[in-house]
């Protein structure tokens, strides 16, 4: 059995190097989210370039926890490293009595996770966004203000199903010019919100929540203007019909993902989710 150990702070750069080697988009700031608010385990074979393998868990309140960053260096694949790390992740969360253990799987990973007892919930796809999107000229988009956070967190929790204030505030702090809201027309709170973060390969927009299609389009146009070259993880069959709109303006699908769960279903309403925060965060 491989030696699965906690990730020391000093080895964080080698975890970043591993995700970069495999072509993923995480930065050191993303890895610190897991190190500070969750747990990271690694298999370290002493290679100075990158760790041999990693996995991370991230609790969202008491009801939901995420598994992600299950990565294996290409030269160490097919040695059971990912299986050992997944066993640690699942067993540690079950020992903590987490009702819902969830993850977002690539097509290859999906079959592996199904054999571990995970079941499909719904799908989403990563979109490479075009150079620009047309603005909704009759909808005012502004930056998130301190007074918006209660409404923003309520909107996010209704869809995602669990509190994740530290994560979302961290995104807003990293990309304040792309932390955006639209006010509700009746003056009672907000009608939509979009956050963003920088990535190793380029920026990512999300999560995205909106009460109608025009608000969602306005937020995406403004977010892309703030962070050109971004990607977006768009839920399949989103109620606002954003997929056809993005395709008409030059967006293209890069790859699919499947949201999966072990134990209870996540308690939120997925119909309220337009775009997720990313497969590593949910």
| Residues of the chain scoring pLDDT < 50 | none
pLDDT of residue 263: 97
Strand partners, 205: 196, 232
End-to-end CA distance of the chain: 30
Return the SS3 of 217.
Answer: helix
Return the SS3 of 135.
Answer: coil
Relative to beta strand 252-263, strand 142-143 is unpaired
How many helices, marked H, and strands, marked E, lie in the chain? 8, 12
pLDDT of residue 84: 95
Angle CA 64–65–66, to nearest 5: 130
Q: Which of 173, 174, 230 lies closest to 221 in space, CA to CA?
A: 230
pLDDT of residue 249: 98
Full-model pTM: 0.95
pLDDT of residue 30: 97
How far apart are alpha carbons 263 and 190 in whole angstroms? Answer: 33
pLDDT of residue 148: 97
Relative to beta strand 204-210, strand 231-235 is parallel
């Amino acid at each position: 059995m491989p030696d699965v150990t906690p990730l020391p702070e000093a080895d964080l750069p080698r975890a970043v190097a591993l995700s970069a080697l495999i072509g993923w988009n995480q930065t050191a700031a993303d890895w610190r989210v897991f190190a500070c608010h969750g747990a990271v385990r690694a298999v370290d074979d002493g290679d100075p370039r990158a760790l041999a393998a990693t996995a991370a868990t991230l609790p969202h309140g008491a009801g939901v926890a995420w598994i992600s960053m299950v990565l294996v260096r290409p030269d160490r694949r097919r040695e059971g490293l990912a299986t050992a790390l997944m066993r640690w992740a699942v067993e540690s969360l079950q020992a903590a009595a987490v009702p819902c253990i969830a993850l977002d799987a690539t097509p290859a990973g999906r079959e592996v996770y199904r054999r571990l007892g995970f079941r499909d919930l719904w799908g989403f796809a990563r979109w490479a966004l075009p150079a620009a999107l047309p603005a909704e000229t009759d909808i005012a988009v502004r930056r998130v203000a301190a007074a918006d956070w209660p409404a923003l967190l309520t909107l996010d929790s209704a869809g995602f199903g669990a509190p994740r204030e530290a994560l979302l505030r961290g995104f807003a702090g990293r990309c304040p010019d792309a932390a955006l809201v639209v006010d509700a027309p009746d003056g009672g709170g907000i009608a939509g919100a979009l956050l963003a973060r920088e990535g190793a390969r380029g920026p990512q927009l999300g999560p995205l929540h909106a009460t109608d299609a025009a608000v969602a389009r306005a937020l995406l146009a403004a977010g892309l203007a703030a962070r050109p070259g971004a990607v977006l993880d768009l839920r399949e069959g989103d109620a606002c019909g954003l997929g056809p709109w993005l395709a008409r303006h030059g967006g293209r699908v890069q790859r699919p993902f499947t949201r999966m769960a072990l134990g209870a279903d996540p308690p939120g309403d997925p119909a309220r989710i337009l775009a997720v925060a990313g497969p590593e965060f949910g």
